[in-house]
A and B are shown apart, each in its own frame.
Chain A
Amino acid sequence: MEENLYMENILDHYKHPHNAGRLEDATLSAKELNPSCGDVIELFLVLDDCDRVKDVKFDGKGCAVSTASVSMLTDRIKGRPLADVMSLGERDILELLGIDVGPMRMKCAMLPLRTLKSALANKK
């Protein structure tokens, strides 16, 4: 059922996450917490003049599932137009992860998306 939860690809992202760090000049940012484990993820986005994601970084420590998710999500949105980023949903995250997350770990997998949605909601 969750046999592939800890496959090579996920562990690679967990141990060497992409886009880790902070952006002091972020256009949009948000911080969200997973209340079940206390993990916190902070996202920073810089938009260019044409509303494309020029740069994105995340800060925070999480489990393998949430870390792989944020690593892949930031890769996915970098360079993309805002309209595309705004349309991302849970199904996209599960596709990116490519694993059967299972109900117990869904909150971990979706924490980065929830943080992204909060950051986007801050856009006027």
Chain B
Amino acid sequence: MKLSADILKDFPSLHAMDMRAYLDSAASSLTPKPALEAMDDYYSNFRANVHRGMYATSAKATERYEAVREVAAKFLNASADEIVFTSGTTDALNLLASSLGRMFGPGDEVVLTEMEHHADLVPWQEAAKRHGFALKFIPMRPDFTLDMDAARALITPKTKAVSVVHASNALGTVNPVKGLAVLAHAVGAVIILDAAQSAAHMKLDVRELDCDFLAFSAHKTYGPTGVGALYGKKALLEKLEPSRYGGDMIREVKLGSSTWNEPPWKFEAGTPNIAGVIGFGAALGYLMDIGMENVEAHDRELTAYALKKLSAVPGVRLIGPIAANFHDRENSRAKRIGVISFVVEGAHPHDLATLLDREGVAVRGGHHCAMPLMSKLGIAGTTRASFGIYNEEKDVDALVDALLKAKAVLKI
């Protein structure tokens, strides 16, 4: 599936950066003109605070801000009152660990996986310390997929929440989250999906996934930095306590105590990132215009091409599922996304990233905020190439070419 060549024209930074291949969209994707223009429009034409002013400009800002809730809801197949704006996935996961965590105590368990990003691990560690519940981890099998037999044993009536990364930012693995949702719900636990990576690569449908919460970031879905969305089932958002307090999130404030606004607003204390949310909406609209089925098909084909090309480079060892598109009984979707980690024997990931940069190829080198996973694999880190909708086969060719040159410099 080749996406339209016009897409390349929509990304000014792709040209301004003047590199051969930008292969770091898993860290942050670039932003298309419609999103840039939407933010510029806000700052230039209706720059006022939301939910406050009794004048027309503020009403317009509020209307445009709130309209993005509808867009994000459409993107996820949710309803608008189930969308909370956050500063990103990390913020959303902190909110959940803090506000769900206070409902759990000694004897309770929260189940995570060995693949969690630090953003889904550290907040739970802190909440567990504070409230006295225990954390359990679903292990990874040697083929870089989750051990679902272990998951069945770990998810028990003690389990109160299962919080998992939908697609690993370090491996590219797509986890069988529908199966995990069934296991979680069977014991009365909630399931939380960290969709920071999956949101830009595949169609998300919270009804089909049957997740209770799902978090993702604008800056990995072609929107601006510093904004994101948390989906939560309405009944759960109503029960959940806020974790940050201030203006806009209250109903009534007395000197001694206060009551909260309705969800989702009770989770949005203070003036929000108005321009960011508006840009986020435009980016999601841009993706939906392309069609997430098309985004997914493009990603799968490019991934298959890259896996084939990289496997042929001597000394390269892929750290992640080796096939772009295979199915199993627990996961009807492709098992991986275009986030490709690898190590080159004899070369440190940071040296490789520096040498690839010299050839105009931008990749990420390091532990990808998944230190426990790297320890388990017995490596300090990996080099990671990740794709966006603007990447093409020639970018993979540039990567392979640069890898061969780097190996020559390092004499390996």
Question: A and B from one assembly?
Answer: yes
- The interface of chain A, by Cβ under 8 A from chain B, is 2, 5-6, 11, 36-40, 61-65, 104-105, 108
Whether a CB of chain A sits under 8 angstroms from the CB of B101 is no
Residue of B349, B350, B358, B374 with most partner-chain A CB within 10 A:
B350
Cβ-defined partner of B350 (8 Å) among A2, A40, A65: A65
List 30 A-B pairs, Cβ < 8 Å. Answer: A2-B354, A2-B358, A6-B351, A6-B355, A6-B409, A6-B410, A11-B410, A11-B411, A37-B348, A37-B349, A37-B366, A37-B380, A37-B381, A38-B366, A38-B367, A38-B371, A38-B374, A38-B380, A38-B381, A61-B380, A62-B348, A62-B380, A63-B348, A63-B349, A63-B350, A64-B348, A65-B350, A65-B351, A105-B350, A108-B350
Interface size class of B (residues with CB under 8 A): 10 to 19
Whether a CB of chain A sits under 8 angstroms from the CB of B279 is no
**In this complex, what residue of B is CB-closest to A104?**
B354
**In this complex, what residue of B is CB-closest to A33?**
B371
A63 to B381, CA, bound (A): 11
A63 to B411, CA, bound (A): 14
Interface string of B333-359 (1 = CB under 8 A from A): 000000000000000111100110010
Number of A-B residue pairs with CB-CB distance less than 8 Å in the complex they form: 43
- What 5 additional pairs, Cβ within 8 angstroms, besides A11-B411, A108-B350? A5-B354, A37-B350, A37-B367, A62-B380, A65-B350
A38 to B409, CA, bound (A): 24
A63 to B358, CA, bound (A): 17
Whether a CB of chain A sits under 8 angstroms from the CB of B365 is yes
A36 to B381, CA, bound (A): 10
Interface hits, B373-412 → A, CB 8 Å: 374, 380-381, 409-411
**In this complex, what residue of B is CB-closest to A61?**
B380
A104 to B358, CA, bound (A): 13
Task: Tell me how far the C-beta of B130 lies from the nearest C-beta in chain A, rounded to whole angstroms.
Answer: 24
**In this complex, what residue of A is CB-closest to B353?**
A104
Task: Tell me how far the C-beta of A76 lies from the nearest C-beta in chain B, rounded to whole angstroms.
Answer: 22
A40 to B410, CA, bound (A): 21
Task: Tell me how far the C-beta of B358 lies from the nearest C-beta in chain A, rounded to whole angstroms.
Answer: 7
